[in-house]
Homo-oligomer: A and B are copies of this chain.
Amino acid sequence: MRIITFLSDFGNQDGYVGAVKGVLFHHAPKAGVVDISHEIRPFQIEEAAYVLMSYYQYYAKDTVHLVVVDPGVGSLRKPIVVRTANYFFVGPDNGVFSYILRSEANTVYEIDAAKVRAYNFGRSISRTFHGRDLFAPVAAFLAAGGSIHKLAKKLDGAPVVFDDHLKAGMKKVSAKIISIDRFGNLITNFSKFEFDQLQNVRITDIEIKDKRLEGLQPTYSAVSQGEVLALWGSAGFLEISVNRGSAAELLKAQPGKTEVVIHLKND
């Protein structure tokens, strides 16, 4: 039996997560269900996409990664499964799998709601809670070894992915803060994965608010206590940090508002 990881923006104070886990265990009683986080900021797809990149690759082959950050639940956005060489990803087609789709060979399937309903004890599919009624049964079915073709078919057209903001020859790039972690580190949407596709380019300076940082540091403690630095975070995204302090507090930075400008040089 396989592991199902579960990431959402449901919060930890209600029964939403518990309901989803009930469905998972009901259909896949021997699976391991692993809570990743349910504290993604409500509806923040980019934050979920980043957080997913920080853990998925540490799980064994055939792990099912369930991701439910789904502001468009009840609308026309499609429910999908992304199959890569090693993993299944189950969730809404709203960009949350952008980085996976860009970095790994994959096939994308569209979930068939009628088939899921039949599989899930005939329970109707609530218009507000696809995590419980649509995604969880599919994740459990796959974890129990079921064939994806029984509940889904190949997606017509391309899945949703975030715009690529890096282009050859650029002198500077404007990045967004997509997450602030518990230590006050500011995580941007500037990823090492995308940066490495540019050839012979290096980062010279990073601007944030009135600070201008020279290049990247290898570790927090490369600067004095209380100093601001930039580095590649452990998931491969450019991060603004303060050694033993909070960059969010010191810089009064806010996700989606504070701009980070990265200056590049072609060698």
Please tell me which one of the listed residues B19, B36, B43, B53 contacts residue A55 in the complex, with CB atoms under 8 A apart.
B19
Query: Could you say which residues of chain B place their CB within 8 Å of the CB of A132?
Result: 58, 234
- A26 an interface residue at 8 Å Cβ cutoff? yes
Given contacts A43-B244, A182-B10, contact A25 B19 (CB under 8 A): no
Given contacts A218-B127, A221-B75, contact A59 B234 (CB under 8 A): no
- Identical copies in the complex: 3
A144–B10 CA distance with the chains assembled, in angstroms: 31
Please tell me which one of the listed residues B21, B22, B74, B183 contacts residue A220 in the complex, with CB atoms under 8 A apart.
B74
* CB-based contact A54/B14 at 8 Å: yes
Query: Could you say which residues of chain B place their CB within 8 Å of the CB of A15?
Result: 7, 36-37, 51-55, 235
Contact with B along A204-241 (1 / 0, CB 8 A): 00000000000000111100000000010111000000
A11–B234 CA distance with the chains assembled, in angstroms: 15
Stretch of A27-35, A145-153, A192-200, A259-267 that contacts chain B? A27-35
- A23 an interface residue at 8 Å Cβ cutoff? yes
Query: Could you say which residues of chain B place their CB within 8 Å of the CB of A22?
Result: 5, 34, 55-59, 63
- A95 an interface residue at 8 Å Cβ cutoff? no
CB within 8 Å of B: which residues of A?
A: 3, 5, 7, 9-19, 21-23, 25-26, 29, 32-40, 42-43, 51-60, 63, 71, 74-75, 126-129, 132, 179, 181-183, 218-221, 231, 233-235, 244
